[in-house]
Structure formats: C-alpha cells, structure tokens
Chains A and B, each alone.
Chain A
Amino acid sequence: MWFFTNRTTRRYHHNHKTHGPHDHHHHDQGRDVESRKSGTREIKVVRRVLDANDIMAERMRTVFAEKKVFVLNMMSSPGSGKTTTLQKTLARIMPDLRCAVIVGDICTTNDADRLARSGAPVIQINTDAFGGDCHLAAHVVERAVADLDLDAVDLLVVENIGNLVCPAEFDIGEDKRVVVLSVTEGEDKPAKYPLMFRECDATLLNKIDLLPYLDFEMDLARRTIAQIHPGMPVFEISAKTEAGFEAWIEWLVDQVKAKLR
C-alpha cells in the first residue's frame, strides 16, 4: 500500500508566504474539519476509493509507454470464446508483432496452456492466490509483468477474468479495451451490462457460425451497443471458422502501430 496523502483538501490550505500571516487555527495534517457537531468532528476526505488502483495503473501506463508496449485488456463473460479468439488472433499477427499474454483465471492453467502453443510468452495469474478475485487489478498486472522482458514485446494482451461486471471498473494501465460477447449469450447483454460496453473501445460479437441455430437478433444487438456506446466498432467474428477476422485484425494492428510509431 502506498502512503496516504490527502490531495484534495490540501488545496484549502493557503500559503502564508503569499497570503501574509494572520490569525486562525490551522487544522492538523492539512485536513479540514468541516463541522463540529456536539461530540462529533467531521473530517473531509474526498478521495476515490479506487485511488490506489488508479495510481498503480498510471505507473504501469508510464512503464508501457517507455518500453513501447501496446496493452490490450480483453474482457467478457465466461465461455464467450476469449481464449480461442486470442489464440487465432496471435496466430495471424505473430511474428510480425511480438506478443505476450497475461491470462487471469480463478483456477486452472487451461487457458495458459492453450495460449502457450502460440509461442508467445504466457503469464498465468490464478487470482486464487490473491483472494479469488472477480477482476484483475493493476497491482496484479504489475507483478505478472515483472516476469516478462518488455523490451521484446510489442503487444501485451491481458485476458481478464470472465466477468462482465467488475473488470470494467479497474484500470490496469491498458491502451485499449475490447469486450467479447458471444451470440449464444443473447442480444440483451449490452443493455444489462452497460458499464462494460461504455468502457470498451471495440466489441467482438463471437460465434457467428452458430447464428443459424439461434434466435439472436443481430440488428437489435448492434442497435443496443450503438445506444450505449455510439461509434464503437463492432466486429462480427467466429473464432472457430475465423470468419470476420480480417476487419478485427486490421483494427487491432492499426491500434498497435499507432502507438509503436
């Protein structure tokens, strides 16, 4: 944990050099007392609860900028096909782009084993060790990155924990966020998990090879996503058949190159 500094209330404390000496009570440690009800003292705090994470994420972002590493945060519900999508994606962009993967899973190394076959360095995080978390936080990514040679990496993909809620809350120092939604999950998911779809920069609608067997309304799904995040690119893909991969890969490679340039 980092040392506490109260950034916001510090502003209330004026500088005597410019202000001139005067007679008033200075509150302890730069904290202002807002009110004194009988028997109670209210201390202004004004701090984001996730400050610790955001500070760490910014630090990671600086490291990634120095090392010229593009970081992609991939999020989805469990079973949406993130790992297969990533496997097939890596096969297409390596070795032109030097890739590495951090994969978060509460248990098992199944995903890491599958991804390692791509030849990319894979760091598995079992959040078990960190308390069975529902998301990856910045400090976890920092620890995982310590095992990577960032000088030999252009694209670092963080495959987050399968969950459409919590990962959207946590900045991990990434450049772009992608959400994978499989058509078997139903077209109402963007409306149910608006934060995820607001926070992401692109959506992959996966498993379109199954569309003939489903009642999935593609138009409705696209309309809903467009309401929640107007202008966000939506790619219809099948990780199994690799249908639609060209547009997705082109988008991804453009994003990476824009940073590495």
Chain B
Amino acid sequence: MHEMGIAMEIVDIAKASMPADMQGARVQRVNLQVGKLSAIVPDSLRFCFDLVVKDTPLEGAELAIEEVSVVARCKDCQAQWTVTEPVFTCTACRSGAIDILSGRELDIKSIEIEDED
C-alpha cells in the first residue's frame, strides 16, 4: 500500500550510495531483499519503482527482488523451521516462544552501476 514511499526511499538510498567518482553513471540494477512477512507486494513495488526512477541515475534500472522466506526458531527447544502459513508455534514442541530469524527484511543489498573503465 505504501510501495510508492518505499520506492522513493530506495531511489534516495541508491543515489546516496553512488561513489563520488561515479556520479553521473547510470545504475543498472538494484538488488533488494523482501521478507515474506513484510507488507510489500513485489509487483506493486516494481511498478512504483519504474515511475519514480524517471530523471534520476536509476532511470531504466532493474529492481531485482529476492523474496526471503519466514524462518523461526523455538526459544525452548531450539528447533528451526520455515513458516509457510500464519502459525507461529514450534513445529517440534508446540511452544509459542519463538524468534523470527528472517522474513521481515526490506533491505537493499547492492546496486550495480555502469562502469566504463
């Protein structure tokens, strides 16, 4: 729902990450990780990204989205498993005391910039 704001934030972070000696170069790709438990719809995000990159060094860049599954670990028995439906009890001992290890990501991993030399 707030994918437009997210897309704008991505562009800002990518622009700020460009090394001083590469200002003016074009960003070809942004590598993003999106957890399945985040409220982000990849298709909507790509749509917004394509709109907001206009007239920036990211114009025409690809937004590569890697979806990250939800992985939980039980605090009681240390079992670790991938959560595929909204059930957050331990699959081994039924405990409800769990840590979410991954699945909340909304991280920029890297940007790929056109380099002439």
Task: Please indicate the chain B residues that have their CB under 8 angstroms from the CB of A6 in the complex.
Answer: 17
Interface centre among A41, A51, A135 (most CB of B within 10 A): A41
Confirm or deny: A134 has a beta carbon within 8 angstroms of a beta carbon on chain B: yes
Chain A residues positioned under 8 Å from B108 (CB to CB): 45-47, 49
Given contacts A39-B115, A44-B109, A166-B1, contact A49 B89 (CB under 8 A): no
Whether B39 pairs with A165 at a CB distance below 8 angstroms is yes
Whether B114 contacts A42 by the Cβ 8 Å rule is no
Q: Is A198 an interface residue (CB 8 A)?
A: yes
CB-CB under 8 A from A36, the residues of chain B are: 115
Say yes or no for B97: interface residue by CB 8 A criterion. yes
Q: In chain B, what residue has the closest Cβ to A53?
A: B9
Check: A230 CB closer than 8 A to any chain B CB.
Answer: yes
The A217-261 residues at the B interface (CB cut-off 8 A) are 226-231
Question: Which chain A residues lie closer than 8 Å to B39 at the CB level?
Answer: 165-166, 168-169, 195
Q: Do B111 and A49 touch across chains, with their CB atoms under 8 A apart?
A: no
The answer, yes or no, to whether B116 is at the interface (CB within 8 Å) is yes
Q: Mark A15-48, 1 if CB is under 8 A from B, else 0.
A: 0000000000001110100101101111111111
B99 to chain A, nearest CB (A): 12
A194 near B86 (CB under 8 angstroms)?
yes
Interface centre among A34, A228, A230 (most CB of B within 10 A): A230
A134 touches B1 (CB 8 A): yes
Q: In the complex the two chains form, is A228's CB within 8 Å of B88's CB?
A: yes
Is A133 positioned at the interface, with any CB of B under 8 Å from its CB? yes
Is B102 an interface residue when CB atoms closer than 8 A count as contact? Answer: no
In the bound complex, CA of A45 to CA of B19 (Å): 11
How close is B73's CB to chain A, nearest CB, in angstroms?
14
On whether the beta carbons of B96 and A42 are closer than 8 Å, the reply is no
Distance in Å: Cβ of B78 to nearest Cβ of chain A: 17
Count, chain A residues at interface, CB 8 A: 44
CB distance from B35 to the nearest CB of A (A): 10
A191 interface residue per 8 A CB criterion: yes
Q: Report the Cα distance A163→B6, complex, angstroms.
A: 17
Option from A29, A49, A165 in Cβ contact (under 8 Å) with B6: A49
Q: How far is the CB of B39 from chain A (nearest CB, A)?
A: 5
Interface residue A52 (Cβ < 8 Å from any Cβ of B) = yes
A38 CB to nearest B CB, Å:
9
Interface centre among A42, A46, A49 (most CB of B within 10 A): A49
Q: In the complex, what's the smallest C-beta–C-beta distance from A49 to chain B, in angstroms?
A: 5
C-alpha gap A40/B107 in the complex (Å): 21
Q: Could you tell me if A40 and B37 are in contact, using CB atoms closer than 8 angstroms? A: no
B48 contacts the other chain (CB 8 A): no
B89 contacts A43, CB within 8 Å?
no
A41 and B113 contacting across the interface, CB-CB below 8 Å: yes
Q: Closest CB of chain B to A223's CB: distance in Å?
A: 10
14 residue pairs bridging A and B, Cβ less than 8 Å apart:
A1-B12, A4-B16, A6-B17, A42-B113, A43-B17, A43-B113, A46-B108, A49-B13, A52-B9, A133-B2, A133-B5, A168-B39, A169-B39, A230-B95
Listed in ascending order, the chain A residues whose CB lies under 8 Å from chain B are: 1, 4, 6, 27-29, 31, 34, 36-37, 39-52, 131, 133-135, 163, 165-166, 168-169, 190-191, 194-195, 198, 226-231
- The list of the 9 closest CB pairs from A to B, nearest first, reads A230-B96, A194-B86, A4-B16, A41-B115, A28-B19, A134-B1, A227-B87, A45-B108, A49-B106
